[in-house]
Structures are given as structure tokens and as C-alpha cells.
């Protein structure tokens, strides 16, 4: 009798564990991939790096020096990098924020996390325990030139395109045009169209967070 009760108890424990794993799997499958790509105006450029819908961090601002409007935030610079809260900059007048084109670890869009308050997303900050501990595009800088290695020729990584550098600045052009081009590990493309599934409609990195409609309210 005791043996039967013990067996039933073990079975219940195992079933509970299976259910827990299923829930975790469901949570992981619905987790948002960062950074996020949104293109409400259908021009092939991430809305978060364009002037009208420029967004350089999270809506949650703990520092008193930040205001509610991303456009009115001060430009924080370190080594030429536009950090969290930077203003839109476009010296070459191509309509894309310069800080999205210099290969740096400058963040655009929702999902910004910065527990040490140094202006760099913890996901892309090598001094943070959260460094690259997320799903989505990662930042690596082995040669310490402040440019993501995966967008440079030596370490270039993208399964959908080769390294292209028409302007000769050492950074892959596809990492500078604001498009939905992926650089680094984690590329997923089950339909084989050359665009990561995460950034396509229905993907975990597409259309999440505040888009232009919400930006107008910030």
C-alpha cells in the first residue's frame, strides 16, 4: 500500500515538473527579442532610428536629469558614442541617426536596461553581468575600437549577406542603412527570405514596444 502511494506521489511530482517546463517554454517563446524593428511607414528603415520617431531608450527614466521627451534629452557622449537619451543626430543628412551607423553599442528602441546607470544597455555592456545574456542581436568588441565586431570585415557575421563597404569606413553598409539586416549570432530564418524571422510580422522582435503612435504621446 505504501509503495503504491509513494509511486503516485512520484508521478504527481513528475507531472508538475513537466507542466512547469511547458509554462517556461511558453514564456520563453513569447519573450521579446531585442533590439526591436518597427517600420510603420514602410520605407525599409527602423522607425526608432528616424527623426520623427527617434527613440533612444526606455520610457522608464530613473534619473532626474531626463525629461519625458526623448527629443529633449541631453546628448551623452563617451568616446563619440551617443548613449542613452541622446538626441537625434544626422550629419550626413540621410535621415538615419548617426549613432545607429557608427557600429557602437548605442541603443535605439524599447527594452533599454541599465542597472549601473552608465548610459550603455547592460545587454551590450561588457562590464555588466547581463552582457549578451539576452536573445537578439549582441555586441562584441575584441579589438576595442568601439565598433561591433560582427559589422566589421574580420568578424563579419550574417548568413544572408556578405560584407559590403562601399563608403570605406570599415563597417558593413547593411549595418548602417537602418534596414532589418542582422549581424552576429542568433540569426533565424525558417522561410529562407534573408530576413530574420524575429523582425517580420508576428516575430518576437517586430512591432513590440512603443511605435510612432505612442511616440507622439511621450
Q: What is the pTM of this model?
A: 0.74
In tens, the pLDDT along 112-136 reads 999 988 889 999 999 999 999 998 9
How many Å separate Cα 41 from the centre of its chain?
Answer: 20
pLDDT for 77 = 58
Contacts for 114 with CB less than 8 Å, ≥ 6 apart: 84, 120, 121, 122, 125
Question: What are the two backbone dihedrals, phi and then psi, of residue 62, each rounded to the nearest 5 degrees?
Answer: -85, -25
Q: What confidence score (pLDDT) does residue 21 get?
A: 31
User: Given a cut of 90, is residue 61 above it in pLDDT?
Assistant: no
Helices of type H across the chain: 2-30, 212-215
Confidence at 88, pLDDT banded by 50, 70, 90: very high
Of the candidate ranges 11-15, 35-39, 116-120, the one whose mean pLDDT is the lowest: 11-15
Q: Which of 175, 154, 45 is nearest to 106 (CA)?
A: 175
Q: What percent of the chain has pLDDT over 90?
A: 56
* Cα→Cα distances 79→105, 147, 194, Å: 11, 11, 33
Structural domain boundaries of the chain?
31-218
* Average pLDDT rounded to a whole number, residues 160-166: 93
According to the model, what pLDDT value does residue 63 have?
36
Residue reference for cell 549601473: 116
What is the residue-wise DSSP string for 133-168? -SSB-----TT-SSS-GGGSTTT---TT-----TT-
Q: Is the pLDDT of residue 104 over 90?
A: yes
Contact 84, 76 (CB under 8 A): yes
How does residue 78 score in pLDDT terms, banded at 50, 70 and 90?
low
Amino acid at each position: 500500500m505504501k509503495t503504491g502511494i509513494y509511486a503516485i506521489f512520484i508521478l504527481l511530482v513528475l507531472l508538475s515538473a513537466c507542466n512547469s517546463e511547458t509554462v517556461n517554454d511558453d514564456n520563453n517563446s513569447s519573450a521579446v527579442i531585442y533590439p526591436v524593428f518597427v517600420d510603420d511607414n514602410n520605407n525599409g528603415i527602423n522607425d526608432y532610428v528616424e527623426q520623427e520617431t527617434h527613440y533612444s531608450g526606455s520610457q522608464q527614466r530613473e534619473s532626474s536629469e531626463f525629461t519625458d521627451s526623448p527629443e529633449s534629452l541631453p546628448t551623452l557622449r563617451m568616446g563619440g558614442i551617443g548613449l542613452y537619451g541622446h538626441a537625434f543626430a544626422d550629419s550626413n543628412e540621410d535621415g538615419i541617426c548617426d549613432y545607429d551607423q557608427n557600429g557602437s553599442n548605442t541603443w535605439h528602441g524599447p527594452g533599454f536596461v541599465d542597472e549601473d546607470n552608465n548610459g550603455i544597455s547592460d545587454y551590450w555592456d561588457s562590464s555588466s553581468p547581463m552582457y549578451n545574456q539576452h536573445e537578439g542581436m549582441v555586441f562584441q568588441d575584441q579589438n576595442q575600437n568601439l565598433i561591433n565586431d560582427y559589422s566589421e570585415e574580420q568578424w563579419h557575421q550574417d548568413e544572408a549577406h556578405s560584407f559590403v563597404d562601399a563608403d570605406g569606413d570599415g563597417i558593413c553598409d547593411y549595418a548602417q542603412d537602418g534596414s532589418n539586416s542582422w549581424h552576429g549570432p542568433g540569426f533565424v530564418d525558417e522561410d529562407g527570405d534573408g530576413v530574420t524571422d524575429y523582425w517580420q510580422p508576428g516575430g518576437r522582435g517586430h512591432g513590440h514596444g512603443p511605435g510612432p503612435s505612442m511616440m507622439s504621446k511621450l
